[in-house]
């Protein structure tokens, strides 16, 4: 591959005032919408299905299939109002793709929303933006106003008879609200905690009505698919994971940033684009898709970063938040920091995540301060085993990924921490010293 | 559920599925939650958040099991409290799956890392699900060496409920109860992660009438009762099943005593009646048993005009002598009171006829009417749960509450209505004055995400209820015409002329079933026992010669000894006593302030020649009585109430009954002294005789009183609407400051236009006055009809009848 960069989603990011409606239209924006409005909604769903677009929020669920789950028809569940909710609560550590999209190209998101709503026959769309991202919220709100003024939103859009209202909602600072059902509860004004599934959002989502919840990047891809067709879309990426993807590269590289590339690119290629490791210090470990995806090491430089490739190598594609760490970083320390994040953000609903992260942080902090034991490593692995697959939602699972993968690849670093401390007969004496009894 | 033998597979009935749990095949109804199916098989999966009467939460993760669906094992263990059964499902619990066992042990360990393990000083220790399950599935030691999470403790979330947050396992049973069952979510989760905790809003304590249930269903000792905290250990308590004595629901309770003292009361589990719930008054108010006013010895008024304690022999002799003299003079009236057991009420009914030779007996110690007697004789007496029950009430498509504020007057009825409205979309209409909390929480729009449409109040000016009822909107009439629809009517109907008649008419025209829900526990039983001027036991009409003859024969009386005319009612008895038309009164628990005209009632009690009082506590009657005979509280006697359904609710003594006598025994002995035999020496004897008399078919014609016309307020006036709140200055709630602290504030309610007309300001005090007195309360605006003010009937600073001498529908002066 000579030039792996395929700017599709990021094509207009560098344009003058790229966020404005004028710039977007000048670059061909809202043409896909006009095209889509001439088609039958089912044709749009079929097109997106054919394109193979998979959810960009981390789970990779086929988008067209999700849309087709929305009940249609004049009676029964199809008679209820239908909703599109865009998950813009980008909070996964290392992830930085939706916020720049909303900053640089909010109209691509709005055009995607309109086409999606037309396809699923929704007349109301909510964009739930992470509350801390104040500037993007303003950008998107302004873009929505522009779209209303131009007739892209509101009643009888472009004379098609299709009505749509978009509300941009600011979250209140909870990681859990990136979980789709917690997001829906939060949007309804309730405490943001995940809901029991079933019923799934497709039948009983926002206000107990059929709802599609999609990530910003997923929705922003839709106008391009409508404009370029499914064949064009499939020309990028792999058979199972087609299309372009924004990889957020952060950490010890020369030029951190957003790099759009077809799915299936490798870290080796991404590092080339990002100017290589910072100051030439060698790579030690990295996350392929945010802190909730198990770590990779230098061994994994050539793992194709698509849904299947990452999974086959023992991790997950996640949000393609590539955090790169060089040899200067202590793995237990990094894992401790991540775990502190999960402890802080655990919503508290279920026991394993709430109590498990509380416990794990304390063990890790103790270890990093040189007061760990070998037993602690086994205890942590066992706690992780008691969280993984036992918690209410996937956040508990995510909290275990950095720990189990770090111990898998870097157990010696944890052992080194123990060896570095003064000799104490353990663990009985430790219990005594710390005065703890449980 | 059936267990199918291995060799032949029984066909799966319609609407059922076949699954395998721990190798045993079981057929379960579709939609059943897995943990329930396991329970039915006798497989107990440990759990904390699961509660059969609450919606599933899946929060604690203690009940994880392995599940195979369609031949494919599910990748993760599943919470059996949220998963529903499916055909072909294969389930492995902790008994057969190491994965499930490990998952459960892991969750248990996690639950305990932040739990204080202060079991030795915790109220719950000894009856604690967490303790029990930690003993069965927990580790012997802990791997947790770190710092536990702590919180300042305890947090008083109301005067009555204390919260120890560090003990909480965040199962959300209490918050789900409050939101789903009671409908008053004063408590909710706050914060997140390990700091997540139960809490209240800063200025809104847990002012729920049902808060005690959260203490009972808390699976740890996080919620405790202020009155009970640290007072005893579960294993020191002796538990006796009982029946709540405060309202007409007949709720099953459990009375826990230690060394002859009631320590606490809990809700009993009776799916047919109160399910597993109890209102706070029935749970917490039992200090009246030991209050300072309790009378323990008989007393006789001597020549010095003072009451002196004396022996039973002496007191009964004095009472008998006075009563016999009165019988020879103008006669004896019997005021039985509304809180009697069925057995006692029967004794009063029989005492009146046999010993006093009169039909002047009435159980209604509250405003009443002749129309009411006709209504009760025509529609209520003798009805059983076959006619209307809690279950039928829940299944009804439509319920209309007339002159009944269910949450205040019959809290368990309110819970059923709310459950039906929430779960089944039952339409609950209220013919009343304003959108009370109960009206709102039984609204039809429950469960829909749309804001509550307050469409279920049918407003009426007090006094106009009958006219409004006779002219209901067409959609309400249509809803009431659906099969199974119910009209519930409360005792306040007696204060509105023509209302009972209108209920009768509407029930006849729509086919709706009538349910009469009195406020007091004893009224329904007294009605059926014949402690009424128009009725003999078993619904026999006093005016029916054959019925009289039947009773005379059964009681061994000479033919014609029961008077053939309807006797005097409570007001008439007291009026007759005041002018010497009656020479003596036998009174069993009556507060003159509960009657329509307290001053007239006191006149009657004061002027009557001879007054015998059977009571538990000193009262206004004690002060005037010639003979006072102490009677036993429910806890110290056997007995039964007939609840509003007509269901007999019996109990055995929870405390040693020696030294105290129930009313029926006292009356029996008194009658013997008067040379009459009641054969009601024990509640069992009385109950047996009443049962042998049986119930006859209702023959009385319903009342036909024209709808009354409401008063029209003049300048500076309003029509008074009033009813009693659950927690108020009631004499049986004495010595319970923690409970009293959760009473609803006493407020004067009025609509904005009327407030403006009368010059009232929201939040500022306003005064309601009559010639007799005045009541001043802060104003709260509510959606009452124009020209109407509402006052709580018997709050500490709002004793409407006593202070104003006025009641529901009367004109009062109102000013700022």
Compute the nearest-CA separation of A403 from chain B (Å).
Answer: 17
pLDDT tens for each residue of A374-392? 999 999 999 999 999 999 9
- Give CB contacts under 8 A, 24+ apart, made by A328-331: A328/A252, A328/A281, A329/A252, A329/A284, A329/A285, A330/A368, A330/A413, A331/A284, A331/A285, A331/A295, A331/A406, A331/A409, A331/A410, A331/A413, A331/A414
Domain assignment present for B616: yes
Contact B425, B454 (CB under 8 A): no
Domain assignment present for A3: no
Give the pLDDT band of residue A437 (cuts 50, 70, 90): very low
| Total domains present in chain A | 3
CB distance from A172 to chain B under 8 Å?
no
The answer on B503 and B393 residing in a single domain is yes
Nearest CA to B741 out of B88, B302, B205, B324 is that of B205
What is the ipTM metric for this complex? 0.92
Residue B122 CA to residue A370 CA, distance in Å, equals 37
Res B50: pLDDT: 97
The answer on A352 and A390 residing in a single domain is yes
Helix, strand, coil proportions of chain B in percent (round to 5)?
30, 20, 45
Instruction: For residue B627, list its beta bridge partners.
Output: B300, B612
CATH number (domain holding residue A186): 3.40.50.11540
The answer on A128 and A43 residing in a single domain is yes
The answer on A189 and A90 residing in a single domain is yes
Last residue in a domain, options A168, A203, A234: A234
Q: Which residue of B has its CA nearest to A349?
A: B59
CB distance from A176 to chain B under 8 Å?
yes
The answer on A205 and A64 residing in a single domain is yes
Helix, strand, coil proportions of chain A in percent (round to 5)?
50, 15, 40
B332-335 vs B361-362, strand pairing mode: parallel
Res A426: pLDDT: 46
Res A6: pLDDT: 72
Q: Give just the sign of the alpha carbon dihedral A268, A274, A280, A285.
A: negative
The answer on B443 and B354 residing in a single domain is no
The answer on B649 and B562 residing in a single domain is yes
Compute the nearest-CA separation of A81 from chain B (Å).
Answer: 13
The interaxial angle of helices A106-120 and A216-234, nearest 10 deg, is: 80
Return the DSSP state at B165.
G
| Strands annotated E in A308-367 | 321-326
Residue B776 exposure: Cα atoms within 13 Å on the Cβ side: 5
The answer on B56 and B85 residing in a single domain is yes
The answer on A313 and A396 residing in a single domain is no
Structure tokens belonging to residue B225: 């009762």
| Strands annotated E in B2-131 | 16-21, 24-29, 64-69, 72-73, 78-79, 90-92
Interface-testing mutation among A177, A194, A343, A355, with chain B (most B C-beta atoms within 10 A): A355
In order, the DSSP letters of B582-608 are: S-EEEESS--GGGSS-HHHHHHHHHHS
The answer on B389 and B352 residing in a single domain is no
The answer on B539 and B492 residing in a single domain is no
The answer on A252 and A203 residing in a single domain is no
The answer on B534 and B513 residing in a single domain is no
Per-residue pLDDT at A2 exceeds 50: no
Res A367: pLDDT: 94
Res B731: pLDDT: 85
The answer on B674 and B563 residing in a single domain is yes
What is the pLDDT of chain B when averaged over all its residues?
95
The interaxial angle of helices B342-350 and B683-693, nearest 10 deg, is: 70
The C-alpha torsion from A217 through A219 and A224 to A225, rounded to 10°, is 120
Domain assignment present for B250: no
Q: Which domain holds residue A281?
A: 244-326
Domain assignment present for A6: no
Across the interface, which of B64, B106, B145 has its CB nearest the CB of A434?
B145
Structure tokens belonging to residue B711: 């008063």
Across the interface, which of B76, B148, B193 has its CB nearest the CB of A354?
B193
pLDDT tens for each residue of A197-231? 999 999 999 999 999 999 999 999 999 999 999 99
- Give CB contacts under 8 A, 24+ apart, made by B312-316: B312/B669, B315/B627, B315/B628, B315/B629, B316/B629, B316/B669, B316/B670, B316/B673
Q: Which domain holds residue B66?
A: 16-110
Res A438: pLDDT: 40
Percent of chain B with pLDDT over 70: 98
The answer on A318 and A335 residing in a single domain is no
Domain assignment present for B696: no
Last residue in a domain, options B110, B136, B169: B110
Residue B617 CA to residue B612 CA, distance in Å, equals 14
pLDDT tens for each residue of B109-140? 999 999 998 999 999 999 999 999 999 888 88
| Total domains present in chain B | 4
The answer on B405 and B508 residing in a single domain is yes
Across the interface, which of A354, A385, A427 has its CB nearest the CB of B194?
A354
Strand (E) or helix (H) holding B136: helix B129-137
The answer on B532 and B494 residing in a single domain is no
The answer on A228 and A287 residing in a single domain is no
The C-alpha torsion from A276 through A278 and A279 to A284, rounded to 10°, is -90
Domain assignment present for A382: yes
> What count of CB pairs under 8 Å joins A to B?
121
Residue B648 CA to residue B241 CA, distance in Å, equals 14
Give the pLDDT band of residue B447 (cuts 50, 70, 90): very low
Taking an 8 Å cut-off on Cβ atoms, the answer to whether A207 and B60 are in contact is no
CB distance from A351 to chain B under 8 Å?
yes
pLDDT tens for each residue of B493-518? 999 999 999 999 999 999 999 999 99
The answer on A177 and A89 residing in a single domain is yes
Residue B523 CA to residue B525 CA, distance in Å, equals 5
The answer on A395 and A349 residing in a single domain is yes
Cα–Cα distances in angstroms (integers) from residue A393 to residues A351, B222, B617, in the given order: 11, 26, 59
Taking an 8 Å cut-off on Cβ atoms, the answer to whether B194 and A349 are in contact is no
CB distance from B445 to chain A under 8 Å?
no
Return the DSSP state at A231.
H
Domain assignment present for B298: no
Average pLDDT over residues B135-163: 93
Compute the nearest-CA separation of B801 from chain A (Å).
Answer: 44
The answer on B347 and B321 residing in a single domain is yes
Residue B789 CA to residue B779 CA, distance in Å, equals 10
Domain assignment present for A194: yes
Taking an 8 Å cut-off on Cβ atoms, the answer to whether A392 and B59 are in contact is yes
The answer on A115 and A47 residing in a single domain is yes
The answer on B666 and B797 residing in a single domain is no
CATH number (domain holding residue B807): 2.40.40.20
pLDDT tens for each residue of B13-61? 999 999 999 999 999 999 999 999 999 999 999 999 999 999 999 999 9
Q: Enumerate the residues of chain A whose CB falls inside 8 A of the CB of residue B112.
A: 438
Structure tokens belonging to residue A94: 């290392």
Average pLDDT over residues A48-56: 97
The C-alpha torsion from A321 through A326 and A327 to A333, rounded to 10°, is -50
Last residue in a domain, options B62, B89, B110: B110
pLDDT tens for each residue of B594-625? 999 999 999 999 999 999 999 999 999 999 99
The answer on A211 and A71 residing in a single domain is yes
Q: Is the peptide bond before B141 cis (omega within 30 degrees of 0)?
A: no
Average pLDDT over residues B692-706: 95
Residue A242 CA to residue A324 CA, distance in Å, equals 25
Ranking A285-289, B3-7, B629-633 by mean pLDDT, the lowest is B3-7
**Helix (H, G, I), strand (E, B), or coil: what is residue A245?**
strand
Per-residue pLDDT at B80 exceeds 90: yes
Res B5: pLDDT: 52
CATH number (domain holding residue B417): 3.40.228.10
Q: What is the three-state SS of A254-292?
A: CCCEEEEEECCCCHHHHHHHCCCEHHHCCEEEEECCCCC
Compute the nearest-CA separation of B179 from chain A (Å).
Answer: 13
Interface-testing mutation among B146, B166, B172, B190, with chain A (most A C-beta atoms within 10 A): B146
Res B180: pLDDT: 95
Last residue in a domain, options B86, B110, B134: B110
């Amino acid at each position: 591959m000579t030039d792996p960069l395929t700017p599709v989603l990021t094509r207009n990011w560098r344009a003058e005032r790229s966020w404005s409606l004028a710039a977007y239209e000048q670059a061909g924006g809202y043409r896909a919408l006009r095209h889509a409005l001439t088609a039958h909604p089912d044709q749009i769903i079929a097109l997106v299905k054919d394109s193979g677009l998979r959810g960009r929020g981390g789970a990779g669920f086929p988008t067209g299939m999700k849309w087709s789950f929305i009940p249609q028809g004049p009676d029964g569940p199809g008679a209820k109002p239908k909703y599109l909710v865009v998950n813009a609560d980008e909070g996964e550590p290392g992830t930085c793709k939706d916020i720049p999209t909303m900053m640089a190209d909010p109209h691509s998101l709005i055009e995607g929303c309109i086409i999606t709503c037309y396809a699923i026959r929704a007349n109301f769309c909510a964009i739930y933006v992470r509350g801390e991202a104040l500037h993007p919220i303003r950008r998107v709100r302004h873009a929505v106003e522009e779209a209303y003024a131009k007739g892209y939103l509101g009643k009888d859009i472009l004379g098609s008879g299709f009505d749509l209202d978009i509300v941009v909602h600011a979250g209140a600072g909870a990681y859990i609200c990136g979980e789709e059902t917690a997001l829906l509860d939060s949007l309804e004004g309730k405490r943001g905690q995940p809901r029991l599934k079933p019923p799934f959002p497709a039948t009983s989502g926002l206000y107990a009505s059929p709802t599609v919840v999609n990530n910003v990047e997923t929705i922003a891809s839709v106008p391009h698919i409508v404009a370029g067709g499914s064949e064009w879309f499939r020309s990028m990426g792999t058979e199972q994971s087609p299309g372009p993807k924004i990889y957020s590269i952060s950490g010890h590289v020369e030029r951190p940033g957003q790099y759009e590339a077809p799915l299936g690119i490798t870290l080796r290629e991404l590092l080339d684009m990002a100017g290589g490791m910072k100051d030439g210090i060698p790579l030690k470990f990295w996350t392929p898709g945010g802190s909730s995806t198990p770590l990779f090491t230098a061994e994994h430089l050539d793992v194709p970063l698509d849904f299947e490739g990452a999974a086959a190598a023992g991790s997950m594609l996640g949000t393609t938040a590539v955090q790169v760490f060089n040899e200067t970083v202590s793995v237990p320390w990094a894992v401790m920091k991540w775990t502190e994040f999960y402890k802080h953000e655990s919503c508290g609903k279920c026991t394993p995540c709430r109590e498990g992260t509380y416990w794990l942080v304390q063990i890790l902090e103790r270890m990093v301060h040189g007061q760990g034991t070998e037993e602690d490593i086994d205890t942590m692995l066992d706690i992780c085993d008691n969280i993984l697959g036992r918690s209410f939602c996937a956040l508990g699972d995510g909290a275990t990924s950095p720990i189990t993968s770090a111990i898998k690849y870097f157990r010696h670093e944890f052992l080194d921490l123990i060896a570095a401390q003064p000799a104490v007969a353990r663990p009985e004496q430790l219990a005594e010293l710390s005065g703890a009894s449980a | 559920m059936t267990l199918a033998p291995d060799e032949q597979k029984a066909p799966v009935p319609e609407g059922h599925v076949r699954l395998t749990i721990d190798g045993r095949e079981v057929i379960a109804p579709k939609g059943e939650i897995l943990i329930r199916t396991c329970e039915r098989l006798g497989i107990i999966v440990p759990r904390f958040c699961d509660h059969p009467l609450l919606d599933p939460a899946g929060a604690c993760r203690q009940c994880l099991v392995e599940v195979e669906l369609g031949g494919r094992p599910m990748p993760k263990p599943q919470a059996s409290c949220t998963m529903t059964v499916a055909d072909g499902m294969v389930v492995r619990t902790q008994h057969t799956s190491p994965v499930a066992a490990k998952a459960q042990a892991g969750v248990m360990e996690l639950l305990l890392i932040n739990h204080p393990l202060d079991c030795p000083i915790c109220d719950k220790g000894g009856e604690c699900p967490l303790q029990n399950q930690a003993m069965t599935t927990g580790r012997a030691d802990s791997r947790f060496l770190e710092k536990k999470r702590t919180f300042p403790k305890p947090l008083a979330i109301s005067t009555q409920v204390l919260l120890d947050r560090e003990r909480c396992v965040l199962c959300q049973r209490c918050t789900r109860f409050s939101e789903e069952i009671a409908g008053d979510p004063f408590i909710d989760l706050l914060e997140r992660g390990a700091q997540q905790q139960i809490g209240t809003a800063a200025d809104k304590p847990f002012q729920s009438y049902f808060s005690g249930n959260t203490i009972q269903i808390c699976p740890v000792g996080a919620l405790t009762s202020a009155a009970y905290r640290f007072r005893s250990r579960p294993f020191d308590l002796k538990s006796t099943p009982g029946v709540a004595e405060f309202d007409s629901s007949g709720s099953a309770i459990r009375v826990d005593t230690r060394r002859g003292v009631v320590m606490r009361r809990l809700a009993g589990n009776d799916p047919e009646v109160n399910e597993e719930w109890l209102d706070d008054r029935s749970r917490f108010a039992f200090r009246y048993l030991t209050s300072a006013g309790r009378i323990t010895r008989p007393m006789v008024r001597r020549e010095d005009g003072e009451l002196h304690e004396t022996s039973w022999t002496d007191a009964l002799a004095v009472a008998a002598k006075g009563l016999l003299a009165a019988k020879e003079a103008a006669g004896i009236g019997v005021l039985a009171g509304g809180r009697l057991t069925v057995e006692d009420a029967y004794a009063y009914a029989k005492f009146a006829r046999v010993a006093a030779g009169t039909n002047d007996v009435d159980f209604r110690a509250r405003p009443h009417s002749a129309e009411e007697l006709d209504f009760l004789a025509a529609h209520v007496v003798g009805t059983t749960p076959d006619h209307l029950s809690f279950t039928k009430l829940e299944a009804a498509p439509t319920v209309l509450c007339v002159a009944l504020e269910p949450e205040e007057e019959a809290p368990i009825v309110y819970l059923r209505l709310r459950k039906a409205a929430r779960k089944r979309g039952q339409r609950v209409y209220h013919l009343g004055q304003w959108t009370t909390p109960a009206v709102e929480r039984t609204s039809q729009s429950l469960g829909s995400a749309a804001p509550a449409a307050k469409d279920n109040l049918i407003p009426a000016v007090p006094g106009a209820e009958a006219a409004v009822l006779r002219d209901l909107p067409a959609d309400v009439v249509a809803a009431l015409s659906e099969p199974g629809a119910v009209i519930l009517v409360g005792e306040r109907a007696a204060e509105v002329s023509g209302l009972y008649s209108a209920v009768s008419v509407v029930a006849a025209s729509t086919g709706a079933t009538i349910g009469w829900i009195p406020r007091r526990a004893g009224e329904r039983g007294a009605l059926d026992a014949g402690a009424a001027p128009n009725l003999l036991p078993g619904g026999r009409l006093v005016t029916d010669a054959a019925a009289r003859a039947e009773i005379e024969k059964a009681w061994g009386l000479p033919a014609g000894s029961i008077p053939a005319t309807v006797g005097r009612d409570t007001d008439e008895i007291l009026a007759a006593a005041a002018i010497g038309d009656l020479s003596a009164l036998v009174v069993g628990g009556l507060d003159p302030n509960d009657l329509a005209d307290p001053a007239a009632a006191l006149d009657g009690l004061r002027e009557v020649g001879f007054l015998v009082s059977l009571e538990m506590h000193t009262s206004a009657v004690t002060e005037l009585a010639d003979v006072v005979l102490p009677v036993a509280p429910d806890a110290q006697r056997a007995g039964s109430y007939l609840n509003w359904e007509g269901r007999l609710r019996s109990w055995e003594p929870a405390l040693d009954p020696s030294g105290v006598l129930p009313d029926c025994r006292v009356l029996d002995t008194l009658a013997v002294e008067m040379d009459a035999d009641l054969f009601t020496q024990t509640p069992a004897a009385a109950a047996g005789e009443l049962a042998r008399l049986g119930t006859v078919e209702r023959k009385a014609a319903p009342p036909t009183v024209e709808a009354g016309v409401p008063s029209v307020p003049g300048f500076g006036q309003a029509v008074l609407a009033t009813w009693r709140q659950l927690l108020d200055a009631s004499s049986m709630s004495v010595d319970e400051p923690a409970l009293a602290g959760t009473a609803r504030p006493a407020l004067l309610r009025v609509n904005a236009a009327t407030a403006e007309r009368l010059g009232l300001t929201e939040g500022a005090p306003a005064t309601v006055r009559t010639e007799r007195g005045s009541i001043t309360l802060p104003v709260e605006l509510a959606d009452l009809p124009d020209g109407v003010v509402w006052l709580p009937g018997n709050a500490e600073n709002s004793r409407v009848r006593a202070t104003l001498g006025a009641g529901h529908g009367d004109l009062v002066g109102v000013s700022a």
